[in-house]
């Protein structure tokens, strides 16, 4: 059985990840100001020189500090094997980046023996950095304020909740869940679609209560999951399962709302699910 990394090691790893993310962010912002050419990858998603250069910056920093660790990056793939695996999305939100909007970020997470233990989310253009490591709480640094600890909201009832939807295209092919989501939209206090890193930052700082996505990649959400959890939230896939390399969906919320909404989104009659959790709403 793998021995869990201690707090001192995680603090060291967090410091390395934060510095790497900020260095990558500076390179990304140089390209953002000047403009870049866009290529289309085989999966029909865009990529730019900013994505590749940012990932190289991060990889070099991680390999220098932890030469025995494996790295899985959005642009360069996987390198190495072992108990420690760094998950790197150097420029999450490339579509926003190329259209000149600030909703992009650098995501770095560390997984140990299949468990997410550390996360950094650096949104250079947006002016926010969030980070967390297992057992250490979640923190937010804004352009005008130094790092401060943040916590999830205490919202319990669906009628009081602020919900943000991200990528949900595949939900349209799941009739039961699509109908359950429609019922939910009619009951929450308000609905937004902040997307990307932004709604997870808001969730972790208590400004949002619930996030649902059905079309994501683990590299998009690994760091954000650590942050939301350390802020006191619950972060799983839509089935309530733990995150893994193959995860493709998200249900992230305050603890009470997560339990309620998870039951509502089960693949069964939404009315039955509502009845089963009426006491929580």
- Report the pLDDT value the prediction gives residue 38, as an integer from 0 to 100: 86
**pLDDT digit string, tens, across residues 116-158:** 999 999 999 999 999 999 999 999 999 777 789 999 999 999 9
- What is the chain's Cα-based Rg? 19
Claim to verify: residue 102 and residue 128 sit in the same structural domain: yes
Claim to verify: residue 120 and residue 170 sit in the same structural domain: no
- Report the pLDDT value the prediction gives residue 268, as an integer from 0 to 100: 47
Domain count along the chain? 2
**pLDDT digit string, tens, across residues 178-226:** 999 999 999 999 999 998 999 999 999 999 999 999 999 999 999 999 9
- Whether residue 176 lies inside any domain: the answer is yes
- Whether residue 179 lies inside any domain: the answer is yes
SS (H, E, C) 42-88: CCCCEECHHHHHHHHHHHHHHHHHCCCCEEEECCCEEECCCCEEEEE
- Report the pLDDT value the prediction gives residue 2, as an integer from 0 to 100: 75
Claim to verify: residue 145 and residue 12 sit in the same structural domain: yes
- Whether residue 90 lies inside any domain: the answer is yes
Cβ atoms within 10 Å of 70's Cβ, excluding its own: 17
Instruction: Identify the domain containing residue 12 by its residue range.
Output: 7-150
Tokens of 110: 């560390």
């Amino acid at each position: 059985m793998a021995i869990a990394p201690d707090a001192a090691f995680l603090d060291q790893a967090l410091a390395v990840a934060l510095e790497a993310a900020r260095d990558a962010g500076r390179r990304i912002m140089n390209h953002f100001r000047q403009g870049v050419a866009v290529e289309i990858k085989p999966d029909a998603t865009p990529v730019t020189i900013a994505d590749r250069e940012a990932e190289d910056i991060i990889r070099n920093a991680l390999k220098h500090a932890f030469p025995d660790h494996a790295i899985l990056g959005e642009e360069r793939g996987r390198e190495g094997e072992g108990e420690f695996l760094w998950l790197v999305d150097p420029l999450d939100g490339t579509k926003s980046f190329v259209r000149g909007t600030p909703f992009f970020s650098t995501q770095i997470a560390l997984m140990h023996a299949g468990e997410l233990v550390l996360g950094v989310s650096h949104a250079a253009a947006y002016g926010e950095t969030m980070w967390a490591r297992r057992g250490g709480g979640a923190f937010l640094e804004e352009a005008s304020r130094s790092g401060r600890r943040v916590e999830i909201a205490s919202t319990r009832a669906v009628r009081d909740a602020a919900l943000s939807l991200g990528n949900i295209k595949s939900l349209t092919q799941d009739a039961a869940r699509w109908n359950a989501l429609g019922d939910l939209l009619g009951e929450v206090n308000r609905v937004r679609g902040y997307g990307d890193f932004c709604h997870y930052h808001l969730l972790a700082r208590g400004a949002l209560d619930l996030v649902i996505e059905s079309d994501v990649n683990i590299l998009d959400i690994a760091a954000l999951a650590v942050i939301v959890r350390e802020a006191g939230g619950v972060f799983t896939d839509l089935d309530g399962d733990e995150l893994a390399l193959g995860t493709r969906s998200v249900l992230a919320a305050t603890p009470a709302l997560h339990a309620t909404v998870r039951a509502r989104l089960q693949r069964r009659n939404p009315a039955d699910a509502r009845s089963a959790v009426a006491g929580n709403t």
